[in-house]
Chains A and B, each alone.
Chain A
């Protein structure tokens, strides 16, 4: 029996919607079967919480007296440089931005204790942030210097905008070299001394809708504790990777670009993050509801950690040098036991994304829907599917002193 999103929303409004998390639905379907469950259940909620580097926020800080034109000038927030390439008082801050005087990797591995991700966290937590700016001055915007405390609540707009989040599956990282390396996948010990992974697996949004049947542009989501929307497909969207029989990608595939009002978010789900020897980023909490419109959509949400496989990649050579070889394939079910066998070697595993917090997000979203506080939206356009031919490209480098 097929349902529509409008029918589900009517049930949400009247407090009758039946909602399970992507973890709970596995057992429900096992007990009642697909057909019965599809008729009974309206929504399955997903969740993920982990470092998502291509995140940022833009702000309209309000006009000064006299006016200043930050566009073309220089702006920093708590000494972290922000991008000032827009109009007078619009600025954008990236999660990876670092203070000019941060030593970075001069003493390797650099610590990266504070950057853009931390400024975003502190703003969301309600802390005052030091804004300093210089501008060149014009007849209509004469002011050249600005130093002030600012607070999120005093800004006109504060918007989280992330161009690539919620990766549909990801690499498992190992280090085949004979010395420790420091990567965005954490500290990797020599000679495959550990393996790190970063996915909520069976709770992860795009792994529960692997063919993008319900998740699309315009889908309303849980974002950083508040609400947001999917604005576009994320950068590096790459749907045509190898998949299992049921369509679950075995490599990083789909991604989401998301947007939402920073003023309604919480620092519990938007947290400045430091990766030793790599840089700063922000850990983002995202939850996406999946409307159970038919049995097929439901079947995809019953995916378990044992059904999801990821590629084991050597981050000492294959990854930095863009070599296609993988060390092996391994399921999240195996990774979560804490010890896996890779090429006959026993390797301890560690996660970089938080499964307990992913579960927490899926439960919060479930509660919001059950209590009539969160209605579903129909996507206004789909994400590019396998048929789209969208492919992830490497840069075609052309020497600038050569011919075009």
Chain B
């Protein structure tokens, strides 16, 4: 019981084969499985679709939602890429702060150090080339 009450947050990458492009997947995830859902990236054509979602919900609902997706024939990859910061190279300048679309970087008002909150990162990669000391790295 306690276990089922736990919430899960996970970013997933979803690939739609051609015959499933028209299926209202997002609608079902929200309505049938009570999941909080954030579309981080979506690229859907008549040929194929790719969507990156952040799903949040109770563990049981989360698992049922994932089951629904796989049974529908969608291809799920848990996002395996992540952006990390090389602390040796970061100078705390702050050039990344306004470039990041998901506000993963914040400046401490007292120390002026730049915090990087990885759980807010949507792996868009905008910070990587905008960082003057090249301290942001994309890992697979």
Contacts and interface: CB of A to CB of B under 8 A. Distances in A.
Interface of A: 49-51, 109, 111, 113, 186-187, 189, 193-196, 271-276, 283, 336-338, 348-357, 359
Contacts of B107: 336, 338, 351
Nearest to B90: A354
Contact of B94 (A49, A283, A337, A352): A352
A271 B132 CA distance: 10
Interface string B105-127: 00101011100000000000000
A189 B130 CA distance: 12
Contacts of B97: 338, 348-351
Contacts, number: 77
A5 B93 CA distance: 34
Nearest to B132: A273
A126 to B, nearest CB: 15
19 contacts: A111-B129, A186-B130, A273-B132, A273-B133, A274-B133, A275-B132, A276-B129, A283-B132, A336-B107, A338-B107, A350-B99, A351-B93, A351-B94, A352-B93, A354-B94, A355-B92, A355-B112, A356-B111, A359-B112
B34 interface: no
Contacts of A196: 95, 98
Contacts of B96: 350
A352 B95 contact: yes
Interface of B: 89, 91-99, 107, 109, 111-113, 129-130, 132-134
B89 to A, nearest CB: 8
A351 B97 CA distance: 8
Q: Which 4 A-B pairs have the closest CB atoms?
A: A194-B98, A355-B112, A351-B94, A350-B98
Contacts of A351: 93-95, 97, 107
Contacts of B98: 189, 193-196, 348-350
Scoring B92, B97, B109, B111 by chain A CB atoms within 10 A of each residue's CB, the highest score goes to B92
B138 to A, nearest CB: 13
Given A348-B97, A355-B112, A356-B112, A276 B130 contact: yes
A193 B112 CA distance: 22
Given A111-B129, A113-B134, A356 B95 contact: no
A189 B98 CA distance: 9
Contact of A350 (B91, B94, B112, B113): B94
B133 to A, nearest CB: 6
Contacts of A187: 95, 99, 130
B113 A352 contact: no
Contacts of A283: 91, 93, 132-133
A354 B134 contact: no
A271 B94 CA distance: 16
Nearest to B93: A354
Contacts of B132: 51, 186, 273-275, 283, 352
Given A273-B133, A274-B132, A186 B113 contact: no
Contacts of B111: 356
B100 to A, nearest CB: 10
Contacts of B109: 336-337
B134 A274 contact: yes
A337 to B, nearest CB: 8
Contacts of A352: 93-95, 132
A356 B113 contact: yes
Scoring B93, B97, B129 by chain A CB atoms within 10 A of each residue's CB, the highest score goes to B93
B95 A49 contact: no
Given A186-B95, A336-B112, A350-B97, 10 more contacts: A51-B132, A113-B134, A273-B133, A274-B132, A275-B132, A348-B97, A348-B98, A352-B94, A352-B95, A354-B92
